[in-house]
Structure 1
Amino acid sequence: MTKILVSVVLLLLCIFSGRASAGDIHISAAASTKDALRQILDGFKKVRPGSTILTNFASAGALAKQIVQGAPTDIFISANPKWLDLVIKEGKGDVSTKQVLAYNTLVLVGKKEVNISSLEQLPELKRIAIGSPASVPAGQYAEQAMQAVGVYDGLVKDKKLVMAQDVRQALLYADRGEVDGAFVYKTDALLAEHAVVLLTVPEGLYDRVSYPMVMTGSGAAKDDVKALYSYLGGPEAKAILQKFGFETTK
């Protein structure tokens, strides 16, 4: 009897949770978009009241792997094309909806007393935080730049690189003074409480930082998702992105 009651309760929970979430909009977005995107979503809810939006912020690599494994997602915003293309390749993204949301710039932040004017001077620092290049786009861009000036292998050999799970964690290390410097995006640097921008990484040293986005197959079938996707490319969203330091298309 007890087993029957438990089974009934579980069945009812599944039914009602399914009903409650049927109209939810699921967004998986790169960690560096968190503050701007939350403000954009607040604006969308005003023009489309009643929308329930569930957000998942993490490194683009981690999100892509979750989506491929079946995590509920209607819109995916990556911090580089690589992970978004993986989602499309695996049949989870609708390639016809792919577009670029915004662009960003890579900077080095850290303690204000650190005196550095070029990446060639990085070996003079003791600890440098970067997002893990295995899954964090900001870390991949940072690795590109350090490889370009010939300091990356030496920093790895001397164990001076501190790997962060996403770009926001790298910023946190710098803000707490736990590292001398950290590679983050310009938009993240604007949110720092203590760390300052030590230098802007020359753009020719790494691929342009773009934020491509795509609707999943399930997302493209929902009217609310399509409305939000259109809103993300509209003037209100672009104004907010620019306020947070992103570059946008006209």
Structure 2
Amino acid sequence: MLRPCFILLALCVASGAWADRITVFAAASLKTALDDAARDFEAATDHTLALNYAGSSVLARQIAFGAPADVFISANPDWMDLLESEGRIVPQSRRDLLRNRLVIVGAKGTLADTPETLLSAGRIAMALVDSVPAGVYGKAALLSLGLWEGVAPRVVQSDNVRTALALVARGEVHHGIVYATDAQAEPGIAVLYDFPQDSHPEIIYPAALIAGHGPAAVEFLEFLDGAEARETFTDYGFLLPEAG
């Protein structure tokens, strides 16, 4: 008589594969869109996703110290470069997944104006300007426009861009510098100014498999780079990588 464990094994082999749990470390700005894409992936497979969102700098440091993850999606290439230099990712799996835009946001009904006027008074929410990608991009843009020295004393820094957005939504600050996709995710917020693309480094989201990843992680990364997920991301305002 076959024991239950052997029956279960036979059923799993007959079905073609084990269901797997995939741990994904992803930049906080991806949350709304990636949650949707994850639901589509889980519905189409037997796999389960564990999504861990935070600032890219926090996630990269956790992975560098050995945190168990299968896939990492960063909001800029620098933190992915660091992990690659330390042998923490599978280099051949790395690809540029998405792009984004940088904007100034405020409460709906606020009059849009020049960045000089918008940021001339009141507190401004930004992600950490020396480590979190959205903050790094924002500081670079303000330096490029000659505004950083004037606004720096009034900047309220947060550990990720979604927290900065929440400060604006709750009315705790006058304005915020976030990604365009963040503004789309918050119904009470309006985009008041688009930073010129040449005022800051290009906003690129690289994705890669973490060394020692589970077998289903490959399937998920390919899904993210496929047509269905790309449509989901563009619906939320993300841009696709440049061809070539």
Provide the TM-score with structure 1 as the length reference. 0.85
Correspondences of 1:28-39 after superposition (within 5 Å): 28-39=25-36
Letter in 2 for 1:28: F
State the shift of 1:223 in Å. 2.6
What amino acid sits opposite 1:35 in the alignment?
Answer: T
Q: Which deviates the most, 123-132 or 112-121? A: 112-121
Match of 1:216 in 2: 210
**Deviation for aligned residue 1:115:** 4.0
8 Å CA contact retained: 2:123, 2:175: yes
Deviation, 1:180, is 1.1
Corresponding letter in the other structure for 2:195: V
CA RMSD of aligned residues (A): 1.6
Q: SS of the residue aligned with 1:54?
A: strand
Q: Which amino acid letter does the alignment assign opposite residue 240 of structure 2?
A: T
SS of residue matched to 1:190: helix
Q: Which residue of 2 aligns with 1:56?
A: 52
CA distance in 2, matches of 1:40, 1:141: 26
Does the residue aligned with 1:96 lie in a helix, a strand or coil?
A: helix
1:122: Cα distance to partner?
4.7
Q: Counterparts of 1:60 and 1:199 in 2: how far apart (Å)? A: 24
Which one of 166, 171, 195 corresponds to residue 172 of structure 1? Answer: 166
| Corresponding residue of 2:116 | 120
Q: Secondary structure at the match of 2:53?
A: strand
Rounded Cα–Cα distance in structure 2 between residues aligned with 1:72 and 1:151: 41
What does 1:174-213 align with in structure 2 at a 5 Å threshold?
Answer: 174-213=168-207
| Identical counterparts, % of pairs | 35
Q: Name the structure 2 match of 1:10.
A: none
Give the CA deviation at 1:118: 2.3
Q: In structure 1, what residue type is equivalent to 2:172?
A: E
SS at match of 2:207: strand
1:111 deviates by: 2.8
Matched, 1:45 2:42: yes
- In 2, the alpha carbon distance for the partners of 1:226 and 1:124 equals 48
Check whether the contact 2:132–2:160 (CA below 8 A) recurs between aligned residues. Answer: yes
- SS of the counterpart of 1:37? helix
Match of 1:136 among 119, 132, 135: 132
Distance 1:238 1:113, change over 3 A: closer
Amino acid at match of 1:71: A
CA displacement at 1:84 relative to structure 2 = 0.8
Is the 8 Å Cα contact of residues 181 and 236 (structure 2) preserved in structure 1?
A: yes
Q: Aligned partners of 1:88, 1:193: CA distance in 2, in Å?
A: 37
Tell me if 1:234 matches 2:226. yes
Deviations 1:175-229 (A, max 9, x none): 111111101111110122322111111111011111001111112xx33111111
What number of residue pairs does the alignment pair up? 224
Separation in 2 of the partners of 1:45 and 1:115? 42
Checking the alignment, whether the CA contact within 8 Å between 1:122 and 1:151 is kept in structure 2 is: no
Does structure 1 retain, via aligned residues, the 8 Å contact 2:134–2:178?
yes
Do 2:129 and 2:135's aligned partners in 1 also have CA atoms closer than 8 Å? yes
Q: CA deviation at 1:116?
A: 4.7
Gaps of at least 5 residues in structure 1 are 1-21
What do the CA deviations read for 1:54-80 (whole angstroms, capped 9, x no partner)?
111000000000000110011000000
After TM superposition, the runs of 4+ consecutive aligned structure 1 residues lying more than 3 A away are 112-116
